[in-house]
Amino acid sequence: MQLIDGKALAQKVEKYVETEVEKLKQEKNIVPGLAVILVGDDPASHAYVKMKAKACEKVGFYSITHHMPETISQDEIIGTIEMMNTNPRIDGILVQLPLPKQIDTAKILEVIDPKKDVDGFHACNVGRLVTGLDSFVACTPLGVMKMFEEYKIDLKGKDVCVVGASNIVGKPMASLLLNANATVTITHIFTKDLKAHTSKADIIVVGTGVPGLIKEDMVKEGAIVIDIGINRIADGSLVGDVDFEHVAPKCSFITPVPGGVGPMTIAMLLSNTLKSAQQRS
Ligand code: GUN
């Protein structure tokens, strides 16, 4: 069993971004800029946004966070996004999800200029991804693809089971895997027999938010398991969607939580923002 070290790989990606930022500054006088919109007081969202801002600073980006109250109107959020769309210092716009109930998330995401959509959530980028065109791709699944590349895991013809069909993880993950010529099954909350699908898979990618969902008897010997879940349990510790202790011994590769996919999400956000700034130049 080999652990996939997301922390080390994220640091490698961040180092690369830092070097490229320096080049952009020297050669084109461009500083990549990221605008983050954070609505409300969800502690997890606050923690993520803080980590994103810190990462931006580390690689030499310009970054601003627009923190808005929980009760903000949809039009005010749209107004801020429109300002960021035309701000020449901003290459990437990110609206931290989830948004409060009174806000129509789909409508908000549609307002972001697809050229600045570094989260890859705009329907335009999703459509481009599905058709195999160059696009901004959601950071977490993109980070998982980077892990496969780094560990030379060949996807062609592999049976991959993606557990969880969210717009920000499962669906883009499945598209990326399909584009890489894997045979992809997507399971979700209404799947009748999850185990029947996972136990046949060469690779399982799980992102559901259900702690310990994937158990030992659901995983084939020698499988590769990628755990996207980050769940805080009653004792305060962080666990994934995989029962790591019992599943890990059966795997050829597995990602830990924490230190697996988590750090890759931020690294790929930096990478996407850099790409946007390079396209501006
Ligand atoms: N909420 C949970 N994951 C994400 C993400 O990758 N991007 C944004 N904007 N919000 C999230």
| Structure confidence at residue 193 as a pLDDT band (50, 70, 90) | very high
pLDDT of residue 120: 98
Is-same-fold flag (29-122; 139-262)?
yes
CA distance 123 to 171: 12
Q: Which of 68, 69, 103 is nearest to 83 (CA)?
A: 68
Dihedral angle, C-alpha 66, 71, 72, 75, nearest 10 °: 150
Ligand 1 pocket: which of 48, 99, 208 to mutate (most atoms within 8 A of CB): 48
Give CA–CA dist 37/133, Å, rounded. Answer: 27
pLDDT > 90 fraction of the chain, expressed in percent and rounded: 99
Q: Give the mean model confidence (pLDDT) for residues 18-28.
A: 98
Specify the CATH number for 139-262; select among 3.40.50.720, 3.20.19.10, 3.40.50.2020, 3.40.50.300.
3.40.50.720
Instruction: Give the H/E segment covering residue 81.
Output: helix 74-86
**Which single residue is written with the structure tokens 């990618």?**
205
Ligand 1: distance of its center to the CA of 97 in Å? 5
Contacts of 168 (CB under 8 A, 6+ apart): 97, 119, 121, 138, 140
Ligand 1 centroid–CA 266 distance in Å is 10
Q: Give the integer Cα–Cα distance in Å for 4 and 258.
A: 11
Average pLDDT, the chain: 98
Q: Is the CB of 208 under 6 A from ligand 1?
A: no
Distance from Cα 69 to the centre of ligand 1, integer Å: 18
73: DSSP letter: -
Angle between helices 261-280 and 139-150 (to 10 degrees): 100
Give the model confidence (pLDDT) of 134-159 as tens digits: 999 999 999 999 999 999 999 999 99
Give the start-to-end residue ranges of the domains of the chain. Answer: 29-122, 139-262
97 touches ligand 1 (CB under 6 Å): yes
pLDDT value of position 84: 98
Residue-wise pLDDT for 48-101, tens only, equals 999 999 999 999 999 999 999 999 999 999 999 999 999 999 999 999 999 999
pLDDT at 115: 98
Closest ligand 1 atom to residue 265 Cα is 6
pLDDT digits (tens, 9 = 90+) for 206-237: 999 999 999 999 999 999 999 999 999 999 99
Instruction: Report pLDDT digits (tens) over 235-281.
Output: 999 999 999 999 999 999 999 999 999 999 999 999 999 999 999 87
Catalytic sites, residue numbers: 52, 96, 119
Tokens 């592999």 — which residue?
A: 158
Domain 29-122 in CATH 3.40.50.10860? The answer is: yes
Asked if residue 140 has its Cβ within 6 Å of ligand 1, the reply is: yes
Give the DSSP H/E element, type plus range, for residue 161: strand 159-163
Per this entry, what is the length of the chain?
281
Expressed in angstroms and rounded, the spacing between residue 27 Cα and the centre of ligand 1 is 32
pLDDT of residue 150: 98
CA 257 to chain centre: 15
Task: Give the HSE-up count for residue 68: Cα atoms under 13 Å, Cβ half-sphere.
Answer: 23
Please answer whether residues 218 and 227 qualify as being in contact, where contact means their C-beta atoms are separated by less than 8 angstroms. no
